[in-house]
Structure 1
Amino acid sequence: MKRFFYLLAIFNCVLLAAEKPNILFIFADDQAYETIGNQTECQTPHLDKLMNAGVNFTHAYNMGAWNGAVCAASRAMLNSGTFVNRAQKGIRQYPHWSELMSNAGYKTYMTGKWHVPGAPRFDVVKDPRPGMPKQTEEGYNRPLNPEAYAKGWKPWDKSKGGFWEGGVHWTEIVTNHGIDFIDEAKNDDKPFFMYIAYNAPHDPRQAPKEFVDMYPLESISVPENFLAEYPDKELIGCGPLQRDARLAPFPRTEYAVKVNRQEYFACISYMDAEIGRLLKALADSGQADNTIVIFTADHGLAVGRHGFIGKQNMYDHSVRVPFLISGPGIKKAQKISSPIYLQDAMATSLDLAEINPPKHIEFKSLLPLIRGERKVQYERIYGKYIDHQRMITKGDWKYIVYPHAKREILYNLQKDPKELQDLSNKPEYASILASLKKDLKVLQKEMGDDFDIENPLPFWDPTIKKNKKRSGSH
Structure 2
Amino acid sequence: MKIKSIIFLVLLITNYNVHLFSQKAENRKPNIVFIFTDDQTYTSIHALGNKEIQTPNMDALVKNGTTFTHAYNMGAWNGAVCVASRAMLISGRFLWRANAISDEWAQKEKTALTWGKLMEQQGYDTYITGKWHVEAAVDKVFQHTKNIRGGMAADAWNHGKMVATFEAIKKNNGSFDKVPMPNGYNRPLSEDDKSWLPYNTSKGGFWQGGKHWSVVLKDDAIAYINEAKTKENPFFMYLAFNAPHDPRQAPKEYQEKYPLRKISVPQSFLPEYPFRRDMGNNNNLRDEALAPFPRTKYAVKVHTQEYYASITYADEQIGLILDALKKSGKMDNTYIIFTADHGLAMGRHGLMGKQSLFDHSIRAPFVIVGPDIPKNKKVDADIYLQDAMATALDLAGAPKPKYVEFHSLMDLAKGKTTKSNYKGIYGAYLDLQRMIRKDGYKLIVYPKIQKVLLFDLNKDPEEMQDIAGLSANKIKVKALFQNLQQLQKEMGDPLDISNIFQTL
Q: Which residue of 2 aligns with 1:128?
A: 148
Residue identity opposite 2:131 in structure 1: K
Residue identity opposite 1:407 in structure 2: K
User: Does the Cα contact within 8 Å between 1:17 and 1:190 map onto a contact in 2?
Assistant: no
Q: Which residue of 2 aligns with 1:173?
A: 216
Q: Which residue of 2 aligns with 1:114?
A: 132
**What do residues 160-206 of structure 1 show as CA deviations (whole Å, max 9, x unaligned)?**
10110111000100010000000001000000000000000000011
How far apart are 1:327 and its partner, in Å? Answer: 1.0
User: Does 1:448 pair with 2:459?
Assistant: no
- RMSD of aligned residue pairs (Cα, Å): 1.5
C-alpha distance in structure 1 between counterparts of 2:265 and 2:361, whole Å: 17
Residue identity opposite 2:455 in structure 1: Y
Residue identity opposite 1:286 in structure 2: G
Residue identity opposite 1:381 in structure 2: I
Match of 1:148 among 190, 193, 196: 193
- Matched position secondary structure for 1:195: strand
How far apart are 1:331 and its partner, in Å? Answer: 1.2
C-alpha distance in structure 2 between counterparts of 1:344 and 1:355, whole Å: 15
Q: Which residue of 1 aligns with 2:380?
A: 337
Q: Which residue of 2 aligns with 1:39?
A: 49
Larger of the two Rg values belongs to structure: 2
- Matched position secondary structure for 1:188: coil
Q: Which residue of 2 aligns with 1:63?
A: 74
Q: Which residue of 2 aligns with 1:461?
A: none
Match of 1:420 among 445, 454, 464: 464
Q: Which residue of 2 aligns with 1:385?
A: 429
Residue identity opposite 2:479 in structure 1: S
Q: Which residue of 2 aligns with 1:98?
A: 116
How far apart are 1:15 and its partner, in Å? Answer: 3.7
User: Does the Cα contact within 8 Å between 1:17 and 1:105 map onto a contact in 2?
Assistant: no
C-alpha distance in structure 2 between counterparts of 1:372 and 1:55, whole Å: 10
C-alpha distance in structure 2 between counterparts of 1:454 and 1:145, whole Å: 46
- Matched position secondary structure for 1:138: coil
Runs (4+) of structure 1 moved beyond 6 Å?
none
How far apart are 1:373 and its partner, in Å? Answer: 2.3
- Matched position secondary structure for 1:56: strand
How far apart are 1:371 and its partner, in Å? Answer: 2.2
C-alpha distance in structure 1 between counterparts of 2:136 and 2:399, whole Å: 25
Q: Which residue of 2 aligns with 1:20?
A: 29
Residue identity opposite 2:433 in structure 1: Q
Residue identity opposite 2:294 in structure 1: P
User: Does the Cα contact within 8 Å between 1:236 and 1:405 map onto a contact in 2?
Assistant: no
TM-score if structure 1 supplies the norm length? Answer: 0.91
C-alpha distance in structure 1 between counterparts of 2:74 and 2:446, whole Å: 16
Q: Which residue of 2 aligns with 1:247?
A: 290
How far apart are 1:210 and its partner, in Å? Answer: 0.8
How far apart are 1:455 and its partner, in Å? Answer: 4.6
Residue identity opposite 1:126 in structure 2: K
How far apart are 1:379 and its partner, in Å? Answer: 2.3
How far apart are 1:153 and its partner, in Å? Answer: 1.4
How far apart are 1:129 and its partner, in Å? Answer: 0.5
C-alpha distance in structure 1 between counterparts of 2:266 and 2:299, whole Å: 12
Match of 2:363 among 285, 303, 320: 320
C-alpha distance in structure 2 between counterparts of 1:375 and 1:276, whole Å: 31
C-alpha distance in structure 2 between counterparts of 1:52 and 1:301, whole Å: 24
Residue identity opposite 2:255 in structure 1: V
C-alpha distance in structure 2 between counterparts of 1:290 and 1:280, whole Å: 15
How far apart are 1:404 and its partner, in Å? Answer: 0.8
How far apart are 1:128 and its partner, in Å? Answer: 0.6
Q: Give the 3 Å change call, closer, same or farther, for CA 322–17 of structure 1 in structure 2.
A: same
- Matched position secondary structure for 1:293: strand
**What do residues 9-56 of structure 1 show as CA deviations (whole Å, max 9, x unaligned)?**
xx99x9489611100000000000000125231211100111110101
User: Does the Cα contact within 8 Å between 1:18 and 1:191 map onto a contact in 2?
Assistant: no
C-alpha distance in structure 2 between counterparts of 1:22 and 1:219, whole Å: 40
Residue identity opposite 1:45 in structure 2: P
TM-score if structure 2 supplies the norm length? Answer: 0.86
User: Does the Cα contact within 8 Å between 1:200 and 1:267 map onto a contact in 2?
Assistant: yes
**Which structure carries more helix by proportion?**
2
C-alpha distance in structure 2 between counterparts of 1:62 and 1:277, whole Å: 28
Q: Which residue of 1 aligns with 2:226?
A: 183
C-alpha distance in structure 1 between counterparts of 2:49 and 2:101, whole Å: 36
Q: Which residue of 2 aligns with 1:139?
A: 184
- Matched position secondary structure for 2:449: coil
Does 157-166 or 446-455 show the bigger shift? 446-455
C-alpha distance in structure 1 between counterparts of 2:339 and 2:478, whole Å: 34
In the alignment, structure 2 segments of 5+ residues that lack a partner are 1-19, 158-181
**What do residues 417-439 of structure 1 show as CA deviations (whole Å, max 9, x unaligned)?**
11111101111111111110010
User: Does 1:81 pair with 2:92?
Assistant: yes
User: Does the Cα contact within 8 Å between 1:403 and 1:454 map onto a contact in 2?
Assistant: no
Number of residue pairs matched by the alignment: 443
